[in-house]
Structure 1
Amino acid sequence: MTTPHAIVIHAAGDLRIDPIAEPRPASDEAIIDIVYGGICGSDLHYWQHGAAGESLLRAPMVLGHEIVGIVGRAAADGSGPAMGARVAVHPATPAAEYVRHPADRPNIGGGGYLGSAARFPHRDGAFAHRVALPTRMLRALPDAVGWREAALVEPAGVAWHAVSRIGDVTGRSALVVGCGPIGLLAVAVLKARGATHITAVDLHDRPLEVARELGADAVLKQPGDAEILAIDADVVVESSGSHRGLDTAIRGAARGGTVAMVGLLPSGAQPVQISFAIARELDLRGSFRFNDEIDEVIRALADGDLRIDAAISHVRSWEAAAEAFALAADPTVSSKVLLQFREA
């Protein structure tokens, strides 16, 4: 057996491929041989800035939480999928106690996440050849779900949760602001869940081309004020993570509309047209990660109701991690970039 390696962030701009020890699973953990890992915006933030939002990197950390693989060794306690099963991973560990929020919303109650520096010691991620993971994180993949689309179930779960925060979108017009990977997947989810006319907005041509492939009926590149106001969408998903994008989302919403804010803005005050939200009685709803929507995504992929393959722009070997991260950081040439750790 070859020595396992992992993609490790040591500091801002310091991404390395390091040898790691063989995983030593607890009784309720399985050994997962990783096949694909998707590079997330948070991975890019740790690489570029040494932080993702308020989560500051204080020690070297294995990146990666968008992962799929094969059970190389089943859990000793008999829980979870058998050896050889194809699995996706739910990367969250809910907090042991829920404080001042409903128990059915563990995503807002703290807890851990693979590849996160929110706590110290940090929680290593799974951009590695082999990792030990609790069986509660594992989701068996139906045969109908291919490896590459399966690698997108975690970010698609984020998009599914954002649309769920809005409610029933059947027959409603929709606007997606920001066509990075989450915005593109939000287009696909809105399409799958019955939105009738979807408009996508971005700063670049390529993301808008992909948005059309995923179901957008109209696309706008850097629209002006009049174009934004004319959108008049019943529901909006803001996924740019910028104050300009949030302002566009607010002004592009119809009176009485709902805006799901999934793009994570920087800390501090944000200059947006809140007066529009007040006068038009908009519902502004935060959306953070997801709960069990990953299971709904897997079912929708297996049924053929959700199609997300077009969101993948590049696949690179784990040995070319530096190139892959540089690609993922350039929205003019890429959308979702996958790392491949072994042949499927």
Structure 2
Amino acid sequence: MSSNPSNAATTATAVIAHAAGDLRVETINVPAPQANEAQIAIAYGGICGSDLHYWSHGAAGESILKAPMILGHEIVGTITVAAADGSGPAVGTAVAVHPATPGDTGARYPRQRPNLSPGCTYLGSAARYPHTEGAFATSVNLPSRMLRALPDGLSLRDAALAEPAAVAWHAVSRAGEVAGKRVMVIGAGPIGTLAVAVLKRAGASEIIAVDMFDRPLEIAVAAGATATLKADDVEAISAIEADVVIEASGNHHGLASAVRGAVRGGRIVMVGLLPSGEQPALISLAITRELELLGSFRFNDEIDEVLTALAEGSLDLSSVVTHEFDVTDALEAFSVARNSAESGKVLLRFQR
């Protein structure tokens, strides 16, 4: 059972994908929070590639939109109603959100890596039906276990990238020790650029960013890249001989560049999500060079490390956000975010 506290919001402004090409900003009803849920006034939300895919294509990979769905999983905000069972932060606490709910379908996976649990759900995901609603709304109810209180001194604006930065942190951790190493990052979109910032903090001696466009490379340099290359310069990429490559482009051309640019015996971390189905790949070259190809999917508790690093100032993500829009201008924000040649991370602002 749940009862609606007198200070709980009953309506909210939300960003909803109805179908491919059909994005709407609408007023929705907000139910009374369950006993284990807090109500949060969302302050900022970052537009993710999956949000763009639901808007542009009505699907993100194999997750197909079957009904209107609230988008958004990169969110921060302030507790306005605390969980009635006492399980979460107090009213007024600024929080980041871990958007995953591990699930158990009986299939085997390493228990210490819940990001790999087959039944895992994610805010703003159409992987299952009914869909898991997202949190691009002025007020949302979320389970207490998802909430991470911000460290003292860390603002909501500065914490707005905690979730995607955790994805990048997880990818870099999959690479192992990077201090003193030459690292190449393929794809200087938001995740790639966040990986650059994490690599800088981790002590990589050289960080070479690769992208098709000038503006993302400029952002990557501001985040800590020591050199840049254009994605079509195959000869230069092949000459890098990187100890570690972070493949963040999410296409097979980027993966080919990663294989070509890795040193013999090197390691490639694939965090960019390629389209489903078979993909062309330079497997023969990967075999003869004894390359290690590692997948990287979402994250586990790295968001806590990110928040600590942001609060202490050892992780600087200030260059990654290039645009900020009011939630009422969500369609314009999504259009800007889709233009990867001119934008980095685009934020929606939910509170005036």
The TM-score bracket by the shorter chain reads over 0.9
Corresponding residue of 2:209 = 200
Corresponding residue of 1:59 = 67
The counterpart of 2:114, out of the listed 97, 106, 112, is 106
Matched ranges for 1:1-344 at <5 A = 3-96=11-104, 99-110=107-118, 111-343=120-352
Q: 1:50 to 1:20 in 2, by over 3 A?
A: same
SS of the equivalent of 2:184 reads strand
| 8 Å contact from structure 1 (residues 37, 66) kept in 2 | yes
Within 1, Cα distance between the matches of 2:276 and 2:237? Answer: 26
How far residue 98 of structure 1 moved from its aligned partner, in angstroms, is 5.6
How far residue 19 of structure 1 moved from its aligned partner, in angstroms, is 1.2
Within 2, Cα distance between the matches of 1:162 and 1:284? Answer: 12
| 8 Å contact from structure 1 (residues 201, 223) kept in 2 | no
Within 2, Cα distance between the matches of 1:282 and 1:144? Answer: 43
How far residue 155 of structure 1 moved from its aligned partner, in angstroms, is 0.3
| 8 Å contact from structure 1 (residues 98, 109) kept in 2 | no
Q: Deviations over 1:238-293 (max 9, x none)?
A: 00000000000111111111100000111222222111210111100000000111
In structure 2, list runs of 5 or more residues that go unmatched: 1-8
Q: Deviations over 1:92-116 (max 9, x none)?
A: 0000356211101111113110000
Residue type of the partner of 2:136?
A: F
Higher mean displacement: 257-266 or 146-155: 146-155
Higher mean displacement: 72-81 or 16-25: 16-25
| 8 Å contact from structure 1 (residues 94, 112) kept in 2 | yes
User: Following superposition, which runs of at least 4 residues in structure 1 exceed 3 angstroms of deviation?
Assistant: none
SS of the equivalent of 2:32 reads coil
Q: With structure 2 as the length reference, what TM-score do the two structures score?
A: 0.95
Within 2, Cα distance between the matches of 1:226 and 1:96? Answer: 46
| 8 Å contact from structure 1 (residues 177, 245) kept in 2 | yes
In structure 1, list runs of 5 or more residues that go unmatched: none
How far residue 4 of structure 1 moved from its aligned partner, in angstroms, is 1.1
Q: Aligned residues, how many? A: 343
| 8 Å contact from structure 2 (residues 168, 191) kept in 1 | yes
How far residue 2 of structure 1 moved from its aligned partner, in angstroms, is 8.1
Q: With structure 1 as the length reference, what TM-score do the two structures score?
A: 0.98
Residue type of the partner of 2:312?
A: D
SS of the equivalent of 2:239 reads helix
How far residue 223 of structure 1 moved from its aligned partner, in angstroms, is 4.0
Within 1, Cα distance between the matches of 2:89 and 2:183? Answer: 38
| 8 Å contact from structure 1 (residues 148, 309) kept in 2 | no
SS of the equivalent of 1:231 reads coil
